[in-house]
Amino acid sequence: MKMKITLLMLALAQSYCAQLSDCGEAIEKIDNHQLEIKELSRQVNYYKNLLNLSKAVRSSAFEDVQYTINQVTGSKKDGTILVRFTYRNLNDQPRKILQCEKAVIVDTQGNQHQTNQVYLSPNGGKILANDVLTKIPYQGAMVFKKSTAYFPVIKALLVYAYPLDNLTSPKPVVFENIPVIWE
């Protein structure tokens, strides 16, 4: 009887030790899977943002440049409105200079909100982009500060862009009825 109990205890001890060694491997696998899940989640968020940028809310063209409004978000906290857009040179030749002077929002009540914060290039050149290649979309943004009204739709957005000669006064590129997402 002692022999049977000893063999049973020995078998249980071996299975217990075997489970402990497998547990370390299982924990390592779980950690690797969690890292993989984090990386895949980061990639999914990147592609979601990319899809949102490629989805046009409104679009307009001026002198072989296609302007596309992708998203308009407003912050209820500080009253700023951020307009994200892309622009693309439709001409066969690269454009030396693309310049926008200002932008104006007209809300549903007819109030105008103006900004000079039109960003065409990410390298600090606010209103100016040099050497715009053909058929390549570039990102841009406009920031309107301290809006007191929380309107759901922008009736008109006018972006003042300079013509190719860059000598005459800027002409408005008009977008109408743009939805605003307030956060």
Task: Give residue-wise pLDDT tens across range 10-69.
Answer: 777 776 655 555 677 888 888 999 999 999 988 888 777 666 655 667 888 888 899 999
| C-alpha span between 66 and 6 (Å, rounded) | 84
> Which one, of 60, 53, 51, lies nearest residue 139 by Cα?
53
pTM: 0.67
Convert the pLDDT of each residue in 94-135 to its tens digit: 888 888 888 999 988 888 888 888 888 755 557 778 788 888
Residue 132: strand pairing partners: 95
Question: Alpha helix (H) ranges present in the chain?
Answer: 2-54
pLDDT, residue 52, reads 61
What six digits make up the tokens of 87? 């622009």
Tokens (6 digits) for 180:
């605003």
| Amino acid identity, position 165 | D
Cβ–Cβ under 8 Å, residues 120 and 110: no
Nearest to 159 by CA among 111, 109, 115: 115
Map out the domains of the chain as residue ranges. Answer: 1-54, 58-182
In whole angstroms, how far apart are CA 86 and each of 61, 71, 111, 171, 181? 12, 10, 26, 18, 18
Distance CA 83, CA 180 (A): 9
Write the pLDDT tens digit of every residue in 54-92. 566 788 888 889 999 988 998 888 888 999 888 999 988
- In terms of phi and psi (left: phi > 0; alpha: psi -120 to 50; beta: otherwise), the region of 32 is alpha
Please name the fold of domain 58-182: Immunoglobulin-like (2.60.40)
The residue to which tokens 């104006």 are assigned: 104
